[in-house]
């Protein structure tokens, strides 16, 4: 089992205590939130029963006298006032996924409905994301990049260097377009914004559900405000205590296990479009072909979609698609259709100004100083965990090149968690074969947070709450309502 390698790397990590990070900064502003219809929110309209408010916060918490900015909060009021416990804050991952945008699609869905009787559901998009000052890129720069200026899978030192330079230029362009908010995108600032929201709500401790990158904001919150927690679930556990290169290597191993499970399922499950065939080989051949010559997308609308797909597009779309097990049938269909020449399933949407905010946030929370000498080792390891041309693509391997020449220094660098004496036990949740946040991350973070409990789901996929209905979702719901986590060591199967 390769977890031994990962754990020895993390055990050696030295805790770096940055005084600015360790000191809680007061967020008390005594403001009253004025809830109104969500008519003025970007990308509206929201359903009539949604409520929106503006929350005033300092641009820089380190300097409370700095300019004030107004964050938009989006809320679905609890459906049963008599049963209402408080506010449940939902933080999606990405980084860069907007919870505010996703709220309408989960409102009233089966499973979620019960939790909605007890809680107002609140989206606080972090700065740089969704309804809160989304960071801004040049679509032209991104388009030219995706077609040759950078490679997610560089093969030579020249390609590797060009990729680093390209992302440095993208970062500088984004800084110029976005303005001072660009300096405040880290999970540490996001945690302070959450506390400002909690204080303004005028309720008790926070009820927090963080998914993937959202768990980093939760962890920073728990570190700064350990006594202000009623319940907190961290689902799909990102390990911010290890360096980016180690993170990326671990992610590639998790990805390899999970992809093997997918290809096995795709070849042997009669509901799969690849049933009875060698799914991994079909994928390999497809990627090799697209690497050679991009494959044209049939009947394409070039206003919305790139006209052809490259091998990198296929690796990336596969990655985004198969992270969730409920998507496996669709991904098998994309591969089967692509093998027949219809690559629509893997076609890449064209870029807009705000379609790529992940690097701006990722590079505020992680530094990458990997040298080219270290890079091929990681590549070889990735290759050994995946079939031929597929190369175990992961999100983090791309970020390892995004952040190297980022225009601003990392604000909230990786460090061991300093969470202690929380007012409630934190519940960590992870699938055993999670391709994005391997199980070892959850084990490592559980050891770093005294009193926390790890719930294991023996299954595939990233995150265990959606789609609701499984045992893991039930256990989380019960914890949010009662405040009591499941017993340590609990394993669920759905």
Ligand X SMILES: *[C@@H]1O[C@H](CO)[C@@H](O)[C@H](O)[C@H]1NC(C)=O
Other CB atoms within 10 Å distance of the CB of residue 110 = 9
Please list every residue from 117 through 156 that binds ligand X, using CB under 6 A: 147
- Would you say 338 and 274 are in contact if contact means Cβ atoms under 8 Å apart? no
DSSP letters of 363-417? Answer: HHH------TTTHHHHHHHHHHTS-TTTTT--HHHHHHHHSTT-SS--SS-----
H, E, C per residue of 108-160: CCCCHHHHHHHEEEEECCCCCECCECCCCCCHHHHHHHHHHHCCCCCCCHHHH
Nearer to ligand X by C-beta: 49 or 482?
49
Task: Name the residue nearer to ligand X (CB basis): 301 or 355.
Answer: 301
92 vs 312 by CB, closer to ligand X = 312
Q: Is 172 in the site for ligand X (CB under 6 A)?
A: yes
For 136, 137, 152, 228, 317, the CA distances from 354, given in Å and listed in that order, are 5, 6, 20, 34, 19
29 binds ligand X (CB under 6 A): yes
Query: Does residue 32 bind ligand X (CB under 6 A)?
Result: no
Question: Which one, 85 or 348, has the nearer CB to ligand X?
Answer: 348
Q: Which stretch binds ligand X (CB under 6 A): 229-237, 339-347, 386-394, 441-449?
A: 339-347
Q: What is the C-alpha to C-alpha distance for residues 136 and 221, in angstroms, rounded to an integer?
A: 27
Pick from 102, 114, 159, 169: which binds ligand X (CB under 6 A)?
169
Contact call for residues 248 and 396 (beta carbons, < 8 A)? yes
Contacting ligand X (CB under 6 A), which of 20, 22, 288, 420? 420
CB of 240 to ligand X, least distance (A): 13
Cα separation, 269 vs 259, in Å, equals 15
Tokens linked to 154: 């560089």
| Span interacting with ligand X, options 100-108, 293-301, 387-395, 473-481, rule CB under 6 A | 293-301
Instruction: Indicate the residue among 94 and 226 with the shorter CB distance to ligand X.
Output: 226
Residue at token pair 């800084």: 175
Residue pair 361/213 in contact by the 8 Å Cβ criterion: yes
| Options 82, 303, 349, 380; binder of ligand X; rule CB under 6 A | 303
Instruction: Assess 333 for contact with ligand X (CB under 6 A).
Output: yes
DSSP secondary structure letter of residue 430: E
Asked if 423 is part of the footprint of ligand X (rule: CB under 6 A), the reply reads: no
CA distance 333 to 321: 11
Nearer to ligand X, 92 or 195 (CB): 195
User: Is residue 301 within the footprint of ligand X (CB under 6 A)?
Assistant: yes
For residues 463 and 461, give the distance between their C-alpha atoms in angstroms, rounded to a whole number.
6
Tell the smallest beta-carbon distance from residue 393 to ligand X (Å): 20
Q: Does 81 bind ligand X (CB under 6 A)?
A: no
| Options 23, 32, 81, 421; binder of ligand X; rule CB under 6 A | 421
| Residue 328 touches ligand X, criterion: CB under 6 A | yes
Buried/exposed 188-222: b ≥16 CB within 10 Å, e otherwise: bbbbbbbbbbbbbbeeebbbbbbbbbbbbbbbbbb
Contact residues for 376 (Cβ-Cβ < 8 A; gap 6+)? none
Nearer to ligand X by Cβ, of 348 and 361: the residue is 348
Q: Which is nearer to ligand X, 109 or 144 (CB)?
A: 144
Residue 478 CB, nearest distance to ligand X (Å)? 25
Choice from 102, 159, 173, 278 touching ligand X (CB under 6 A) = 173
Tell me how many residues contact ligand X (CB under 6 A).
36
Under rule CB under 6 A, residue 342 binds ligand X: yes
Q: Is residue 371 near ligand X by the rule CB under 6 A?
A: yes
Q: Which residues contact ligand X (rule: CB under 6 A)?
A: 28-30, 37, 39, 48-49, 147, 169, 172-173, 176, 243, 269, 271, 293-294, 296, 301, 303-304, 306-308, 328-329, 333-334, 337, 342, 344-345, 369, 371, 420-421
């Amino acid at each position: 089992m390769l977890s031994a390698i990962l754990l020895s790397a993390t055990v050696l990590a030295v805790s770096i205590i940055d005084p600015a990070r360790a000191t809680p900064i007061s967020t008390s502003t005594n403001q009253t939130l004025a809830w109104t219809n969500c008519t003025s929110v970007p990308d509206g309209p929201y359903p009539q029963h949604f409520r929106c408010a503006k929350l005033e916060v300092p641009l820089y918490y380190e300097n409370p006298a700095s300019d004030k900015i107004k964050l938009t909060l989006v809320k679905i009021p609890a459906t049963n006032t008599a049963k209402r416990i408080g506010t449940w804050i939902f933080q999606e991952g990405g980084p860069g996924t907007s919870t505010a945008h996703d709220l309408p699609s989960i409102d009233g869905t089966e499973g979620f409905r019960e939790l909605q009787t007890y809680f107002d559901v609140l989206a606080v998009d972090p700065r740089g994301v969704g309804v809160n000052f989304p960071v801004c890129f040049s679509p032209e720069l991104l388009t030219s990049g995706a077609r040759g200026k950078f490679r997610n899978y560089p093969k030579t030192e020249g390609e590797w260097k060009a990729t680093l330079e390209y992302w440095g230029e993208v970062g500088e362009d984004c800084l110029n377009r976005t303005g001072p908010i660009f300096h405040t995108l880290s999970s540490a600032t996001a945690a302070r914004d959450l506390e400002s929201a909690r204080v303004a709500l005028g309720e008790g401790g926070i009820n927090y559900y963080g998914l993937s990158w959202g768990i980093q904001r939760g962890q920073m919150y728990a570190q700064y405000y350990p006594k202000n927690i009623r319940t907190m679930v961290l689902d799909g556990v990102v390990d911010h205590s290890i360096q980016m290169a180690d993170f990326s290597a671990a992610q590639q191993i998790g990805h390899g296990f999970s992809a093997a499970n997918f290809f096995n399922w795709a070849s042997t499950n009669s509901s799969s479009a690849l049933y009875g065939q060698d799914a991994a080989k079909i994928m390999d051949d497809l990627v090799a072909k697209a690497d050679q010559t991009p494959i044209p997308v049939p009947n394409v609308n070039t206003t919305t979609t790139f006209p052809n797909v490259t091998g990198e597009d296929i690796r990336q779309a596969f990655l985004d698609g198969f992270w969730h097990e409920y998507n496996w049938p669709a991904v098998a269909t994309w591969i089967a259709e692509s093998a027949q020449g219809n690559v629509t399933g893997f076609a890449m949407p064209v870029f807009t100004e705000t379609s790529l905010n992940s690097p701006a946030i990722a590079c505020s929370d992680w530094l990458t100083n990997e040298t080219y000498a270290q890079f091929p080792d990681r590549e070889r390891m990735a290759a050994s965990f995946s079939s031929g041309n597929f190369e175990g693509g992961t999100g983090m391997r791309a970020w390892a090149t995004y952040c190297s020449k980022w225009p601003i220094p990392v604000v909230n660098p990786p460090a061991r968690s300093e969470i202690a004496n929380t007012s409630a036990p934190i519940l960590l949740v992870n699938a055993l074969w999670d391709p994005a946040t391997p199980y070892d991350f959850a084990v490592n973070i559980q050891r770093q947070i005294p009193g926390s409990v790890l719930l294991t789901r023996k299954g595939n996929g990233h995150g265990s709450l959606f789609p609701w209905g499984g045992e893991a979702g039930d256990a989380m719901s019960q914890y949010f309502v009662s405040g009591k986590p499941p017993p340590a060591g609990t394993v669920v199967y759905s």
